[in-house]
Every structure is written in C-alpha cells, then in structure tokens.
Amino acid sequence: SSQPTMVLADLGNRLTNALKAMNNTTVLDEATIEEMLKEIGNALISADVAVNLVLKLRKNVKARVNVEEMAAGLNKRKIIKQIVCDELVNLLDPGTKPWKPIKGKSNVIMFVGLQGSGKTTTVTKLAYHYKKKGWQTALVCADTFRAGAFDQLRMNATKAKIPFYGSETEADPVKVAKEGVDIFKSEKTEIIIVDTSGRHKQEEELFEEMQEISAATDPQNIIFVMDSSIGQAAFDQAKAFKDKVKVGSVIITKMDGHAKGGGALSAVAATESPIVFLGTGEQIPDLEMFDAKSFVSRLLGMGDIPGMMKLIQDVVPPDGEDMAKRLSEGKFSLRDMYKQFQYIQQMGPLSNVLSMIPGMNNLPQMQGDLGTAKLKAYVTIMDSLTDAELDNAKVLDPPRIMRIARGSGRHPAEVRELLEQHKNFEKVFSGPKGKGMAGLMNKGGLNPRSMQQMASLVPPAALKGMGGMGGLQNMLKSMGAGGMKMPEGFPNFPGFGM
C-alpha cells in the first residue's frame, strides 16, 4: 500500500485503550484488572499471538499485581502500567544477546529463509545499514536456484553503491559462495553478506544446500529472514531452520503491512532467537533495529526518548557545533533549517522517528509516508536555493520564488509554505543573545512564554496527543533529564508544523 501505517498501529491503539480504561476507573480492584487483562489478551490474540503466550502474560501480570497489598499513597495505576509494559517486553524479548561484528576483520553473515520472505531485498538493506555506520561491506549472491536472483541483487547493490559478486553461468551455489567470500576477504572487506536460495517450503534439499554453504564460507552469523504475515506459524518455521543450521539472529520483514506481526514477533522470541531488525517498507533504508523495550514503549504511545537521542547522535556530524553556537546567538537561517531537515531524513521514515516522541504514535497525519513526503519536498526546494538565498531569506521576492518552484518542480505555494515554516522557527530561535529557544533549552529553564513558542511549532493534533502543554513540558523535561542533552547542531526537534 502507498501509505503504510506505523508498525502494528492497530494493536498499539487497542493496548493503549485497555490501559486508559484502567486509568480512568474510579475504583481500582481485582475486577478492573481482570477487565484490562481480558482486553489486552483479546488485542494480542487478534494480532495472532499464540494463546499459550497470552495466558502466560496474564498469569505473570496477576502474580505481580496485588492491589490490596499495594502501599497506600503509591500511584497504583502507574505501577500496573509498568508491570504490563515489562511483561509485553518479556513476550517479545528472547533474552538472548545478538551477535555483533568485529571491526577490522572480515565478518561473514549468511542469510537463510524461504522464497518470498524478502531475503534478497533485506540483504541489501543490512549491507546499507552497516555501510552507513562506516563499515566496508559487500554482497555475494549464492542463490543460483531462482531465475533473476542475481539480477535483483545486482540492481539493489548498484543502487546502494555496494560491491557485489555473483555468476551468470555457475550453477553450484557452494562454489559461487566460496569464491565471492574469498575475494572479499582478500580485499579486507569487513562485512561480507551471503544471500542463499530459498524454496517454497522447508525441503530437505534446501537444508542440505544451506549446510554446505555454511561449511564452505564459515559464517560468524547466520540470519534467518521471515515474512511477518505468517504470524504464530513463525515458531515452527524458525525452529526448523534453527535445528539445521546455527541461526544466530532473525530479521522479520513486511512489518508495515501485516496485523499478524505481533504473532510473528512473539513466536520467534519463544524460540529464543534474538530478533535484530524489522523490515518496515520497500525502500533500502526501511530497516529498523529491533529492541523489545523501545518497541513496546512506542507501541503503547510512551515514546522512546533514549532511542531518539541515539538516532540523532548517529546522524549529526561533529561540525554541528557551529549551528548550536549560531542558535544560542538567536540566528536560524534557511541553511540551518536545510541541514536539520537533512539530518532528520537520515534518521529514516518520519513516522518511525515521531513514534519515539510520547503521544505521537496515534496521530493520523504522522502515520504513513505523508510527513516523509513533505520533508522530501522541502529538501528538494532547498536544493534549488543559491548560497545567498540560504543565508538570507529576505532576498526571496516573488520572481525568485517562481524561479525556485520551476527549478525544483514544486508548486510556488509550497515554496511560500516552506518560507512560512522557516519564519516560525526563526521566531522561536531568535530573540536577544542567549534568550532564544536554544539558549533557554540549554539553561534548562522553560518559562511560560518560551513554552508557548515551543507549542506553536507543534501541530495542534500532535500537541493534543502529547497531553497538551503539560505533556510537552514533561517530554522536554525527560529529554533534559538523565544527562540527555540534544547533540550539538540538532537543537530541539519536537514537531514541525506539517
């Protein structure tokens, strides 16, 4: 579909509503908790989570919650919500540490899975993920079974600018795999990913081939790729592969389109294989690192501020300090905005980023690709600006706006909308030296006027989703708490008026 919603949005909404109902009851007793657990159970079962896992979760929550024995004065509802959250994390976390590559040596990763699981696309996505993090990566196509497999890998690898190896003529997959791995090892490539063939079902022949390739290439990690739409059947599939080769980790694909994703996640966790990534779309960057705690927190609309901070630190270059200095002096040019939007683009699909902000997960305009498309349009427009225009928006008169619209292939109204957006940001960041938004944020003091300014940048529906002004204030506090300082050059991103 052209507009995928956030992963498991429906399950997230149902779980959130069950917790809200518990929160809003006047009397908190066994019956209220029973009702909440029933709702949570139904939501999980409709996401295809196996009944035995749901019963285990309910039993665990009940064992930990004893309303009568909770000391007076404690925020019981908050404690119960945290217990539910912990148990959902346990449901999705196999408790096994995933393998990590070693810098400076050749790490061979072999991919296995059935045909149609999205293996070949995922191979490129993973290589691109490591490349972005500064590793030297390469791909080897050892799928000689499926016609067109090498063409697909060649096309993807070329698009992502990743070296690859394969053969049009050699029919022996073991030979191709060994040749490719040996070549890239001799070139000191750090991450060598081998794509193997899949079959439509778990045939003996497929397992034999996997074992032979594994013996020939000696992989440090074997990744099993599976399609989330099979739901709880993932348990048997993951187990069958694990019994034949040493599966070190799992990537679950097509999480953007299936309601059964919850079933797949919990089933794989039950096999004690660590889930390392989720495929969340068709494009090469649509691969999301999986962390059960962060995933559940976002699913319940509680955001994931630490995850967002880490993401920001990954994309902001060391020269970001110049921008931070300019902002603290109350300067915010179109060039600054251009840089920030480029950083945000590098963080992946916008709906993923926004789901890390508490309260943002259930907003209709944050779902799907709308925000990402808008951001892309803005960056395209800015690509057409001259240096003089990037440094001084005041020179942008109607003839220049027309020229920019033509040059970027966008409508003049969009160019004006972008300039309006910049003006709003400028208002917030400007002000006397050190009194702009950046100055206020760094000092940690947020007076009512600056809060008002901050709120004016957040779309009204988003503000409501965060729990109004109070929610925004709490979110900013939690970003400032625990030493979480926004990296230099990426000041205070929450919300831009979409």
Question: DSSP for 262-287?
Answer: HHHHHHHHHTTPPEEEEE-SSSTT-E
DSSP structure class, residue 375: H
Q: Answer whether 0.85 is exceeded by the pTM.
A: no
Residues with Cβ within 8 Å of residue 280, at least 6 apart in sequence: 4, 7, 255, 256, 286, 287, 288, 349, 352
CA distances from 237 to 55, 155, 260 (A): 22, 29, 15
| Cα–Cα distance, 425 to 440 (Å, whole number) | 15
In the chain, % of residues over pLDDT 70: 74
SS3 annotation, 304-335: CHHHHHHHHHHHCCHHHHHHHHHHHCCCCCHH
Which DSSP letter does residue 99 get? P
484 neighbors 306 (Cβ within 8 angstroms): yes
Per-residue pLDDT of the chain (498 residues), as tens digits, is: 222 334 577 888 888 888 888 888 888 888 888 999 999 999 999 888 889 999 999 999 998 887 667 666 667 888 888 899 999 998 888 888 889 999 999 999 999 988 888 899 999 999 999 998 889 999 999 999 888 899 999 999 999 999 999 998 999 999 999 999 999 999 999 999 999 998 877 678 888 999 999 999 999 999 999 988 888 888 888 888 888 888 888 999 888 766 788 888 888 888 888 889 888 888 888 888 888 888 888 888 777 777 777 777 776 666 666 666 776 677 788 888 888 888 777 776 666 677 777 666 555 544 555 667 778 888 999 999 999 999 998 999 999 999 999 999 999 999 998 998 888 777 766 654 444 444 444 444 555 555 565 565 565 655 665 666 776 666 666 555 434 444 444 444 433 333
Mean confidence (pLDDT) of the chain: 80
pLDDT digits (tens, 9 = 90+) for 235-264: 888 888 888 888 888 999 888 766 788 888
The dihedral built from the CA positions of residue 420, 440, 372 and 489, taken in this order, carries a sign that is: positive
